[in-house]
Structure 1
């Protein structure tokens, strides 16, 4: 009898939570349809764009996730995107969680003159654009900006601060950013090779780091130390074979591997 009571109690709790979420989503969706938050964010950036031509605008956001041991720290960013012709302007927004007051940050302006790579990923449902992921890089292949644009933005938690529906704006922006990406790609055909080299350089740096950790482990447990050093050395060799320019990671890994091998020899000479 007790087990049945527990199962019914859990089912009631789960059902209540699900109903609460559905009701809250319905309320937020109705609020988004009213356009109140959309008017507020558009009004906030109007003074900044009033003298700069006929910009089209829409709301965007970005979530930066960083891992610290077992914890994951997420930072939420909010933007207003304005664009016309081949110019893209991204304006940071600070929205007070209590007062709903909106403050503007320093805008960033991008165009084919300072862009070397634009990556666009879209998600559609029934032929309608729902979500766009944009990555902007300079002519050296280095990241300049990253952001998301959603057709529907709802206050699903205290970190999501607006109820905005912008299907038409999202579709228009997808056409703009895809066109911009094509032009930038045509004018910078060598950027993809630079990005690949940068990725390979990163593998070499990671390999050097693994080898250094292996050298430290060699003090306490040489077998583990030599394994880590060899893994790091392998990463550095692969990085170099794929076109990495820097020799430092490879040199560091070789030194660490020799160091770890020396401690491994001592280990077997003394204890085996």
Structure 2
């Protein structure tokens, strides 16, 4: 279920000059913010949790997920080059799973690692805040990559819809509207992080068993449906 050639082409597309600039800029901004906050306010557990939760997990991780998830397949569908990929003797589920693995790896690398670095800058992992939010970023990366990969297969405006979801639903509604929090990848990942952290600095409105079930279900269903959409593209091309 993994094809090295498809993976190499996907990495090349995701880490091209324009996308790489965006991918690097968000982590750099997080680390700059962390350094500035540490310089002004010193080491503080609550401040570290606020920065990592408010910017890293709520904004940076979903945005990187949008770039990696939609960029793994969306541009190929938009410009028609996916036809060449589909003409190769590679099973369609293998294509989707390979692209998902690449999208997850890129999302994790550009979100979890900077989150940990920022956490160490802010407070040196006081009350395990840095590790907790790093775990949350890792878990969220999987679900976001699957969701946005699916979005890339079903819409030519995947980036726009992805940004609306990341910035409006996750950042705004997912943080402020109580009912929407249970349908937020951010809250699901926080439920996992809550188990890691000490104290009450990291909390979630979703219980851990429910969060794990939803994270798993969304990832599996999104991957399966993306495979079905890719299969339909194949059939249309063959006709």
Which TM bucket (shorter chain)?
Answer: under 0.3
Q: Which has the higher contact order (CA 8 A, sep 6+)?
A: 2
Decide which structure has the larger Cα Rg and report it.
Answer: 1
Q: TM-score, with normalisation over the residues of structure 1?
A: 0.24
> Where is the helix percentage greater, Structure 1 or Structure 2?
2
